């Protein structure tokens, strides 16, 4: 059995960061295991390639939820990254951190060391921001962060229309107080997608103390008593085991980390026994507390100069391709959203609970799953409640590790989420109907001008709304009976096992979750190294 000091399971947004930081110490050996393939595709590295990744069999697990009773029993599509870089290799690349009070709330819930002032340094440490270093940003980190390659004129008009609706213009949406509107930054560097593999691991793959293996499906964590000792895997059709002398670290993500805990005997004992899994540790919180951002979209036909759809069609798309290959600029170097706003859904809200995202283009997903740019001039904007009250869960479906669990998101199960979304759609419509943007709009396509009443808009959300691909919270950090990990991300009740990914969030951040997950990887790796040093000094 091959032995390493640390085994990291999952080479995604957090796992690549953890493996990189642990391997910075040449005195330890690190094994990083990823079920998916190497992510060395041209379209993975090209930002516009996210459309091709949307339902890619090679790089996407292509999960679906269980039928959602609050959404007319629809089964929603849940993309999840499969390969080196995980979801950071297929996502929309928008770099947002949320509000400082998100993290202060984590600390208030009994997680010391997780307040905004504690985590800011980890955001900064990871960054190589093209704006340079400052109070809120770093310039020496591995992760390239940049402003939009092209700032379209309609985006400027969108922001001005938002300002005229009382939403202040902000130069930096990542300063911890993002109540206002501005341009989004993205995890793109010199026109290349900055997956965590590209940014953190690729530059150090030569290290002798770092072993990265793809195509390895972890079946379960191995234990001796209540002490994690390694993992059992399937590799090239064969069963294998790897040993960890220090720790096993699960970075498999919000959907897979709780699944691995359950397969390893850590979870709700009654559910585990129903599937023939011996209970090692009764932990009822595993898989609970599932949160995600639920999205409603508004689309409108526009004047030709208001959208770049036509630049991605016909002969023009080939010109864009030539420009991208020559300069790594242009529309192929764009993230999913160009600009946006953080607003409150009502006067009684403490801080912004809605995110609005704007893009000067539209696309349609065909029945085959391919995302194709629409052949007319149009823009799209979306809104979601960033701090949803609704909670879902992940349930074990089978003891077979290759069978995914059941995902039950319970979107809009709490009435306050529905009311907040109604406010968000109406605020978004007001922005689009305000000059200087109003002159660009010819007609609303979705939901359509005839959809105006609460009842009509709720029906629209229930029939057409979808997820923002930001699941979190299923191995939450805390001190209560449903907490799965403590504030140092150690799995409660067992030794030498941690979870470090978005699943540990007690509450989902008020933003896209990739940047916070990278921060969690940075901080988690620091904790491991600090705890190891403390243990050595006490020996």
Q: Could you tell me how far CA 322 lies from the centroid of its own chain? A: 31
d(CA 315, CA 497): 54
DSSP state of 204: G
d(CA 470, CA 472): 6
d(CA 339, CA 393): 32
How many C-beta neighbours within 10 Å does residue 2 have?
Answer: 12
Q: Annotated catalytic, 470?
A: yes
Q: How much of the chain is in helix, strand and coil states, percent to nearest 5?
A: 30, 25, 45
Helix or strand or coil: residue 150? Answer: coil
d(CA 340, CA 92): 14
DSSP state of 291: B
Helix (H) or strand (E) holding 104: helix 100-108
Helix or strand or coil: residue 395? Answer: strand
- 365 strand-pairing partners: 371
d(CA 36, CA 16): 13
DSSP state of 67: P
Strands 210-214, 30-34: pairing kind: parallel
Task: Give 352's contacts (C-beta < 8 A, 6+ positions apart).
Answer: 99, 178, 179, 342, 343, 344, 386, 510
Instruction: With beta carbons less than 8 A apart as the criterion, state whether 248 and 230 touch.
Output: yes
d(CA 277, CA 269): 9
d(CA 249, CA 500): 7
Q: Which of 137, 246, 259, 470 is catalytic?
A: 470
**Catalytic residue positions, numbered:** 470
């Amino acid at each position: 059995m091959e032995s390493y000091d640390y085994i990291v399971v999952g080479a995604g947004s957090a796992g690549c960061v953890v493996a990189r930081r642990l391997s910075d110490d040449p005195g330890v050996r690190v094994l990083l295991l990823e079920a998916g393939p190497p992510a060395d595709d041209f379209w993975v590295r090209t930002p516009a390639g996210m459309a091709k990744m949307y339902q890619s069999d090679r790089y996407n697990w292509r999960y679906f939820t269980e039928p959602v009773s609050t959404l007319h029993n629809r089964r929603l599509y849940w993309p999840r990254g499969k390969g080196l870089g995980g979801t950071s290799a297929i996502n929309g690349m928008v770099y947002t951190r949320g509000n400082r009070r998100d993290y202060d709330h984590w600390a208030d819930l009994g997680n010391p060391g997780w307040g905004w002032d504690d985590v800011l340094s980890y955001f900064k440490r990871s960054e190589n921001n093209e704006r340079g270093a400052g109070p809120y940003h770093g310039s020496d980190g591995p992760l390239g962060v940049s402003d939009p390659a092209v700032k379209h004129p309609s985006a400027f008009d969108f922001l001005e229309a938002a300002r005229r609706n009382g939403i202040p213009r902000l130069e930096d949406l990542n300063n911890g107080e993002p109540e206002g509107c501005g341009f989004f930054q993205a995890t793109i560097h010199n026109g290349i997608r900055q997956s965590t593999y590209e940014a953190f691991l690729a530059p150090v793959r030569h290290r002798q103390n770092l072993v990265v293996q793809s195509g390895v499906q972890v079946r379960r964590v191995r234990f001796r008593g209540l002490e994690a000792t390694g993992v059992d895997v399937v590799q090239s059709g064969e069963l294998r085991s790897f040993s960890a002398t220090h720790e096993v670290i699960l970075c498999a993500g919000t959907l897979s980390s709780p699944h691995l805990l359950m397969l390893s005997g850590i979870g709700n004992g009654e559910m585990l026994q129903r599937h023939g899994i011996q209970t090692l540790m009764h932990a009822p919180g595993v898989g609970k507390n599932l949160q995600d951002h639920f999205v409603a979209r508004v689309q409108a036909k526009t004047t030709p100069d208001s959208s770049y759809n036509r630049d991605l069609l016909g002969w023009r798309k080939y010109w864009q391709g030539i420009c991208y290959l020559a300069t790594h600029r242009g529309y192929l170097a764009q993230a999913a959203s160009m600009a946006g706003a953080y607003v409150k859904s009502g006067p009684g809200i403490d801080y912004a609970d809605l995110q609005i995202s704007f893009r000067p283009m539209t696309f349609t997903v065909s029945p085959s799953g391919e995302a194709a740019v629409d052949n007319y001039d149009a823009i799209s904007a979306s809104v979601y409640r960033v701090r949803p009250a609704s909670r879902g869960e992940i349930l074990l479906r089978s003891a077979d590790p290759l069978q995914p669990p059941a995902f039950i998101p319970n979107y809009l199960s709490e009435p306050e989420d529905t009311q907040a979304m109604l406010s968000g759609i109406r605020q978004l419509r007001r922005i689009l109907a305000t000059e200087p943007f109003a002159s660009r709009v010819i007609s609303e396509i979705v939901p359509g001008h005839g959809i105006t009443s609460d009842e009509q808009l709720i029906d629209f959300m229930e029939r057409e709304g979808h997820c923002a691909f930001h699941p979190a919270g299923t191995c939450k950090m805390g001190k209560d009976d449903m907490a799965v990990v403590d504030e140092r991300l150690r799995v409660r009740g067992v030794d030498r096992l941690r979870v470090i990914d978005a699943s540990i969030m007690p509450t989902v951040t008020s933003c896209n979750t990739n940047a916070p997950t990278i921060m969690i990887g940075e901080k988690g790796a620091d904790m491991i190294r600090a705890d190891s040093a403390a243990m050595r000094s006490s020996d």
